[in-house]
Amino acid sequence: MTMTIIKTEKLCKTFSSGGIQQHVLKNLDISLQEGDFTIIMGSSGSGKSTLLYAMSGMDKPTLGEIDFAGKNLSRLNNDQLAIFRRNNCGFVFQQIHLLDNMSVLDNVLASGLLGNKNRRQTIHKAKEMLMQVGIDEKAWSKFPTQLSGGEAQRVGIVRALINSPRILFADEPTGALNSASSDSVLDVLTDVNRKGQSIVMVTHDIKTAIRGNRILYLRDGVICGDLQLGGYSEQKNAERHEELKTFLAEMGW
Ligand SMILES: Nc1ncnc2c1ncn2[C@@H]1O[C@H](COP(=O)(O)OP(=O)(O)OP(=O)(O)O)[C@@H](O)[C@H]1O
């Protein structure tokens, strides 16, 4: 039986500037299931990143409730939210933001050793996870500038997952990568999702989106489409592609 991990009720986000209000998210009622690889699509400016930031506690909603694994995020202050994010959320973005003056391994450990962690176990876990994403021992002492974009993003994913977050939030994680690097990153995301990691990802790209099992389509701050695609399988790649393209055409994408 699947479990709801995030539930929003009448979630609204309004930005105000120069006396003008922009209602970016409008009364969203969304349920996300644990173990899902949920994709958020929609045209530019439809509110995808704003929704990702609200659901992950990176930003506060203007109105409405967000229940994240039984915790009401709307009731937390900024310090409580920061602790909640550290314990429950992993993030990967288009810009990778590894620390240039630290080695690959130290970049992962900088996150992994936050809090009261056992150093030896954390180092072991970091090395094991780096191996799993194809970053072998030779690369552990390299600096981020010595990595390809795809390698750097795979290190970024390990850094995001080192504290075993409930959800990995990804905002266009392959947006800056070439096709081969992008595939290597998507393979890692598919693999960790198959092992049970819940993922919520924003993307514009169909090839990226078919990795998900559920596609939410946002238009002008409202969810107007919800497609269940089933789990990713390479054999059914072409069929999934067609199904998603048809759905997006119906959405007016
Ligand atoms: N901090 C902010 N202050 C004011 N307006 C904002 C802020 N963040 C987002 N917006 C506005 O909210 C709208 C939605 O932005 P958002 O980044 O969520 O869209 P998106 O669907 O992710 O777009 P894209 O696909 O282009 O990244 C945009 O018009 C944007 O300018």
- Of 116-125, 129-138, 222-231, the least confident: 116-125
Angstrom distance (rounded) from CA 155 to CA 14: 34
Name the strand (E) or helix (H) holding 42: strand 37-42
Tokens standing for 199?
């993922």
Of 105 and 18, more confident: 105
pLDDT per position as a tens digit, 158-167: 999 999 999 9
Q: Which residues contact 2 (CB under 8 A, 6 or more apart)?
A: 33, 34, 35, 36
Cα–chain center distance at 149: 18
- 219, 43 in Cβ contact below 8 A? yes
Tokens standing for 212?
């998900």
Angstrom distance (rounded) from CA 221 to CA 85: 24
CATH number assigned to the domain covering 4-251: 3.40.50.300
pLDDT in the model for residue 89: 97
- pTM score, whole prediction: 0.95
Tokens standing for 135?
């970053």
Q: How far is the CA of 54 from the centre of ligand 1 (A)?
A: 12
Domain assignments of the chain as residue spans, ordered by start: 4-251
The ligand 1 atom nearest the CA atom of 47:
18
φ and ψ at 185, to 5 degrees? -70, -40
Q: Is 42 in the pocket of ligand 1 (CB under 6 A)?
A: yes
Q: Is 163 in the pocket of ligand 1 (CB under 6 A)?
A: no
Q: How far is the CA of 50 from the centre of ligand 1 (A)?
A: 6
Angstrom distance (rounded) from CA 29 to CA 6: 10
